[in-house]
Structure 1
């Protein structure tokens, strides 16, 4: 069964803040986050890690702005 948890834009920005505080400040830095170094970021939840994965995906496809604004929420929740 798929997780139906709604991720709000506010939660995405909280994750971005955690990433900036941990030293990940550019798209290149975001893409460098992997299984080993994600656990070095203090205070991340499993849901936060899911958001990081989505941030990486949407940054690669040049759709980060739309993702952060919630444009893709309806598509993911169907």
Structure 2
């Protein structure tokens, strides 16, 4: 499913997060499922994006995630 999420959808979720006063990486990492469900007009796909954003931020790969790329190096 994450392969079908477009940059436009990711930006819409970022805007919902900003509107919900989630403005820093620390805020993003501190979001629980309960607090995510309180975000107005949140969808299941939005929740998927939020969880992927949390993983990407924690791994230091947010730019790669937003751009649809990967920083993973292939094993030789």
Q: TM > 0.5 between the two?
A: yes
Any runs of at least 4 consecutive aligned residues in structure 1 with deviations exceeding 4 A, and if so which? none
Q: Which structure's relative contact order is higher, taking Cα pairs within 8 Å and 6+ residues apart?
A: 1
Mapped to 2, the partners of 1:49 and 1:68 lie a distance apart of 15
Displacement of 1:70 after TM fit? Answer: 1.0
Give 1 or 2 for the bigger CA radius of gyration.
Answer: 2
3-state SS, counterpart of residue 4 of structure 2: coil
Structure 1 residue ranges without an equivalent (≥5): 73-78
Q: For residue 12 of structure 2, what is the aligned residue in structure 1?
A: 14
TM-score after normalising by structure 1: 0.84
For the structure 1 residues 4 and 70, does the alpha-carbon distance in structure 2 shift closer, same or farther, using more than 3 Å as the test?
closer
Task: Give a deviation string over 1:13-46, Cα, whole Å, max 9, x none.
Answer: 1000000000000000000111111111001100
Q: For residue 63 of structure 1, what is the aligned residue in structure 2?
A: 61
Q: For residue 52 of structure 1, what is the aligned residue in structure 2?
A: 50
Structure 2 residue ranges without an equivalent (≥5): 71-76
